[in-house]
Amino acid sequence: MAAQDARSDGADASLALKNEGNAALARGRYAEAISCYSRALEADPSSPVLYSNRAMAHIKAESYGLAIADAEASIRLDASYIKAYYRRGSANFALGKYKLALRDFRAVCKLRPNDRDARLKLKECERAAKQLAFAVAIESEDAAPLSASLDVATISVDAAYDGPHLPEDGAPTDEFITEMLERFRAQKLIHRKYVLQILLRTKELLEAEKSLVDLEIGDRDRITICGDVHGQFYDLLHIFEINGRPSSSNPYVFNGDLVDRGSFSFEVVLSLFALKVQHPGGVHINRGNHETKNMSKIYGFEGEVRHKYDATVLALFHECFQWLPLAACVEKKVFVTHGGLSSDDGVTLDDVRKVSRNREPPDAGLMCDLLWSDPQAQDGRSPSKRGVGLSFGPDVTRAFLERNGLDLVVRSHEVRDNGYEVEHGGSLITVFSAPNYCDAMGNKGAFIHLSAALEPKFTTYDAVPHPPLRPMAYASASPFGL
């Protein structure tokens, strides 16, 4: 009887925690939901529903590796539990692993052949897989880039165009950039010819940089480091209002993930590229994991550029993205990269400088790690919660700093409630510059000032209003949103 009562109490506790988790998930409190489901699983470790629900929370938190593991645990407990296949398929789709996602959506359709939603998701996944196969088939390492044959001089500007005009030499002036930013604020675009000119000039500048850019503060007051902006253009304008527009005397490092999620990604990235062309020494941009063809296809940038311009403009953006540096080093002491550190011991700054970056990121290796990795609290290395890259501990950070004579790692890649977090005993900082991320997270944004003393100073800020265009408005309808 006592054992039966204990089981009953455990079931009641598990159900209550499951309900709490469901409520937290509905409110967008993903970490809270994961905690509730985890505690529920302690009381009832044989529940496929709990594993599947936690997988959904991990998907929302972009922890795709953990989502896949939970979905597989659910399937092992109940091979007929349809939602687990949905969740595993969604996580694999979000990682661009379309063949694995197809397996799961076909399984769902087999288990529930009359499910219209499942058939639609299977069709979308098949389409994405075919597009990827076609892109791989037509790409050649020896093929000349589009920029090599594009003749912008043949493009005329219609007399009816009422926006700013680039000078004849294609170099943006203060007046042009001011008018462009205000035009973007009013949800208007600039002429396609000027977009192409800015992209071509940007590519030339980026090609001349190394994969690791060495930066000096010199006689300037400071350098500003921003984390993910993710298409939140009106928050970017707010940063400029707080901190001044980038210039040679007011330099910035933008640490990746300029695009996707937010639906003003074009405005964000073109503004920063124009500012870089105007002030090459005042704007430095690292590549993030979203400045890639696969991510931008899923999370909105591709759809946005095709909607606002065309495939030629999109192709030039991707040429620029492939030349973005992977890291910066400030005063030989502060290492700045989007994701994190390597899965291999012994990596030096020279190894980063030598990375051949003019490509889409591979699934493993130093380039992948720099774009995708995350810190963890415990020492050592662990498989990534994302399913790509790795998680690295304080000991890995300390060893990297000691090996390279560095004092600090600054990275981005993850939301932080206050916009930043000092981690690994002060040797690593995460900075995130997209407040109220995706209009849902309620977080602050932040940026870092580094003066000559290299003592980080933080500025935090709240989100500002933006036009009523939802995040991911241009994203493809995908299984990710399950």
pLDDT at 388 over 50: yes
Rounded to an integer, what distance in angstroms lies between the CA atom of residue 21 and that of residue 147? 50
| DSSP letter, residue 471 | T
12 vs 243 pLDDT, higher one? 243
The overall average pLDDT reported for the chain is 93
Average pLDDT over residues 414-440: 97
Alpha-carbon dihedral angle through residues 341, 344, 349, 354, given to the nearest 10 degrees: -110
Average pLDDT over residues 379-408: 96
Tell me the pLDDT tens digit for each residue of 286-315. 999 999 998 999 899 999 999 999 999 999
Q: What is the pLDDT of residue 115?
A: 84
Average pLDDT over residues 103-126: 86
3-state SS, one letter per residue, for 78-100: CCCCHHHHHHHHHHHHHCCCHHH
pLDDT at 390 over 80: yes
Average pLDDT over residues 175-196: 98
Nearest CA to 70 among 95, 47, 94? Answer: 47
Residue type, 299: Y
Average pLDDT over residues 334-352: 97
pLDDT at 363 over 60: yes
Structure tokens at 228: 């993910």
Residue 482: pLDDT band with limits 50, 70, 90:
very low
Tell me the pLDDT tens digit for each residue of 153-175. 999 999 999 999 999 888 899 99
Structure tokens at 384: 């990534």
Residues above pLDDT 70, as percent of the chain: 95
Q: What is the pLDDT of residue 116?
A: 84
Tell me the pLDDT tens digit for each residue of 18-77. 999 999 999 888 989 999 999 999 999 999 999 999 999 999 888 999 999 999 999 999
Q: What is the pLDDT of residue 170?
A: 83
Rounded to an integer, what distance in angstroms lies between the CA atom of residue 421 and that of residue 142? 44
440 vs 289 pLDDT, higher one? 289
3-state SS, one letter per residue, for 203-259: HHHHHCCCCEEEECCCCCCCEEEECECCCCHHHHHHHHHHHCCCECCECEEEECCCC
| DSSP letter, residue 351 | H
Helix, strand, or coil here: 449? strand
pLDDT at 5 over 50: no
Structure tokens at 102: 């197809």
Report the CATH superfamily, name and number, of domain 146-481. Metallo-dependent phosphatases (3.60.21.10)
Paired sense of beta strands 334-337 and 252-255, if any: unpaired
Q: What is the pLDDT of residue 62?
A: 87
pTM of the prediction? 0.90
| Terminal-to-terminal C-alpha distance of the chain | 42
Paired sense of beta strands 445-450 and 223-226, if any: antiparallel
The boundaries of every CATH 1.25.40.10 domain in the chain are: 2-138
Q: What is the pLDDT of residue 3?
A: 44
Q: What is the pLDDT of residue 137?
A: 65
pLDDT at 409 over 90: yes
Structure tokens at 329: 């080093």
Rounded to an integer, what distance in angstroms lies between the CA atom of residue 205 and that of residue 149? 18
Q: What is the pLDDT of residue 406?
A: 98
Helix, strand, or coil here: 103? helix
Q: Listing from the earlier edge strand, what are the strands of the sheet with 212-215?
A: 212-215, 327-330, 334-337, 408-411, 428-431, 420-423
The boundaries of every CATH 3.60.21.10 domain in the chain are: 146-481
What's the residue count for the chain?
482
pLDDT at 2 over 50: no
Percentages (nearest 5) of helix, strand, coil residues in the chain? 50, 10, 40
Indicate the fold that domain 2-138 takes in CATH. Answer: 1.25.40
Q: Which residues are designated catalytic?
A: 290
Alpha-carbon dihedral angle through residues 88, 94, 100, 104, given to the nearest 10 degrees: 40
CA atoms within 13 A on the CB side of 196: 21
Distances from the Cα of 288 to the Cα of 138, 153, 227, 291, 316, angstroms: 25, 32, 10, 5, 17
Q: Please state at what angle helix 30-43 crosses helix 2-26, rounded to 10 degrees.
A: 170
Q: What is the pLDDT of residue 96?
A: 84
Residues above pLDDT 90, as percent of the chain: 82
